[in-house]
Structure 1
Amino acid sequence: MEPFVLQNQTYFLIESWIKQHPGLIAGITTKNGGNSKGCFENLNLGFHVGDTQVDVCSNRTKVAELIQFPLNNWVGAEQTHDIFIKKVTKADCGRGSDSYDHSFKGTDGFYTNEKDILLTLCFADCVPLFFIAPDKHMIGAAHAGWKGTVHGIARKMIEAWGSEGINPKQIFIAIGPSICQKCYIVDDYVINIVQNTLEDIDKKPYNLISDGQYSLNLKEVNRLLLLRAGVPAQNILMTDYCSSCDHKEFFSHRRDQGRTGRMLSFIGWKESTNRL
């Protein structure tokens, strides 16, 4: 069953998580229902892509109202395709919410065990990873492009939570909308790194399509690495949505040749269900 369910034109939610955990909000936006123009049409939520600050802030305010999580409780990052993750607290609320300049620098993942913090990251083909350990009230989010994936950002989150006393068997993960294997063509350089990362895996998540060209299932690479980190297979949800194929719903850096907007992944615990 598809874990990401469209709520309206503006966002998807991880519906089973929402039903199981009152006060939790977790999902990803679409590209629809905003005020951005041109190649950013129309719900661009990324400050760093060349859109106007006014339109991005207007779009973010709209999403905040729809998911009932105030903008000044968001945290955001300057994502660099690396594996640095940051534990955040209420003292960090607002950083990166209305300005790229004030976001967390060089950060591709967040986690927290405090309520009233919305962890947000931007996407347009890379893999959004959502983490929750309900028994410990811990939530997390990570941005996994191919570099972050093979260098182990998923494992790093699991290890960070291990230092908080959380066993991998207590962790549940959702792998969100991102580029599919059919649309994601990479070269020998990338595949050599993937091969080294998955040398113990018999069924490789890529296929040779022509000399030096491979189709790579980046979502599956993350799933395999999570399994290796000790997360049970039944704890991992994975979407079938593709950011490139599903052009009516998502921005895609590859499909749109680099001139496009960004979706926003979000996850947070609300102190109460009556927010706005």
Structure 2
Amino acid sequence: MKEPFVSVHNSVYVIKEWQDLAPNLVVGFTTKEGGLSQGAFKSLNVGFHVHDCLEDVYGNRQLLGEVLEFPTSNWVGAVQTHDHRIVEVGKKDKGKGALDYDTSFEATDGFFTDEKGILLTLCYADCVPLYFFSNKSKRIGTAHAGWKGTVLGIGFEMVKKWQEDGIQPEDIEVVIGPSICKECYVVDDHVIERVRQWVDSEKEIPYASADGRKGQYHLSLQLLNKLIVMKAGIPQENIKITHYCTSCHNEFFSHRRDLGKTGRMMGFIGWKEK
């Protein structure tokens, strides 16, 4: 499968195929390069909540707004809680959570919109960024899927919300973005029991026993999210998965690799006004 993410700047990867299809669309994922932060957060940390210097986080976000040509005054952000709450946003919400964590959408792990001039943003450091796009309906969305949000079916919920508005799954494209890979991600029986509810095919099992480690498993959150959105009706040919692992590749922050003391990348998607 062709890699959906293409580097356009040392700070940014974009989903080139989508941007080529819809020139006003801005969609991608940041690296940890090209920012102002120091120490464990060096250098493009965009997370307010990780105890970085807030002035540096503000500066990093402003720098990113310049690179994307999408001002921070038009962003929305969330207090992410590893759940499956999804919010529809519009121009009235512009600026919420962009430069002030206190104004972020509370307890939210997914956004979608039909409106132009608003950038949907969520933060990551190993969890899975899910991107949703219907060129036919001009609707866009994104979701933050750690293992908890994944097994709660946040990807499934997004598709069903769109379907309620008359957007059929076959008209929705999904990209699964940079996140921790199966080889780097080990979980226990408790997690796998929650995973099994979504797995009913012997052909694609998203986990495997970790050699010599009783009750431990390697889990592919990428494949699991693919299976979940397929259960919601998304055709397999409409789904693309990145090859980038946030733990393997040092251009990204990784919560596991960095033992919890690290910054956050940003997944983003939005329609420019023109």
State the TM-score, normalized to the length of structure 2: 0.97
DSSP 3-state at the match of 1:39: helix
The alignment status of 1:225 with 2:228, answered yes or no, reads yes
Residue matched to 1:69 = 70
Matches within 5 A, 1:58-207: 58-198=59-199, 200-202=200-202, 203-207=204-208
Q: Is the 8 A contact 2:78 2:97 kept in 1?
A: yes
- CA shift, 1:8, in A, is 1.5
Residue matched to 1:264 = 266
Q: Distance in 1 between matches of 2:190 and 2:201?
A: 19
Count of residues in correspondence between the two structures: 270
Q: Once superposed, what is the RMSD of the aligned Cα atoms?
A: 0.6
- CA shift, 1:201, in A, is 2.1
- CA shift, 1:193, in A, is 1.0
Q: Percent identity?
A: 53
Which of 249, 253, 256 in structure 2 is aligned with 1:254? 256
- What do the CA deviations read for 1:218-267 (whole angstroms, capped 9, x no partner)? 000000111111101111111000000001x1000000000000000000
Q: Distance in 1 between matches of 2:195 and 2:253?
A: 25
Matches within 5 A, 1:227-246: 227-246=230-249
State the TM-score, normalized to the length of structure 1: 0.97
> Residue type of the partner of 1:3?
P
> Residue type of the partner of 1:184?
Y
DSSP 3-state at the match of 2:27: strand
> Residue type of the partner of 2:131?
F
Q: Is the 8 A contact 2:147 2:221 kept in 1?
A: yes
Q: Distance in 1 between matches of 2:221 and 2:115?
A: 30
> Residue type of the partner of 1:201?
S
> Residue type of the partner of 1:85?
I
DSSP 3-state at the match of 1:143: strand
Q: Distance in 1 between matches of 2:224 and 2:38?
A: 35
The alignment status of 1:215 with 2:218, answered yes or no, reads yes
Stretches of structure 2 that go unaligned for 5 or more consecutive residues are none
- CA shift, 1:195, in A, is 1.4
DSSP 3-state at the match of 1:182: helix
Q: Is the 8 A contact 2:198 2:227 kept in 1?
A: no
Q: Distance in 2 between matches of 1:67 and 1:151?
A: 32
Q: Is the 8 A contact 2:32 2:43 kept in 1?
A: yes
> Residue type of the partner of 1:87?
E
DSSP 3-state at the match of 1:7: strand
Runs of 4+ with >4 A deviation: none
- CA shift, 1:204, in A, is 1.2
- CA shift, 1:196, in A, is 2.5
Q: Distance in 1 between matches of 2:76 and 2:197?
A: 34
- What do the CA deviations read for 1:35-57 (whole angstroms, capped 9, x no partner)? 00110000000000000110001
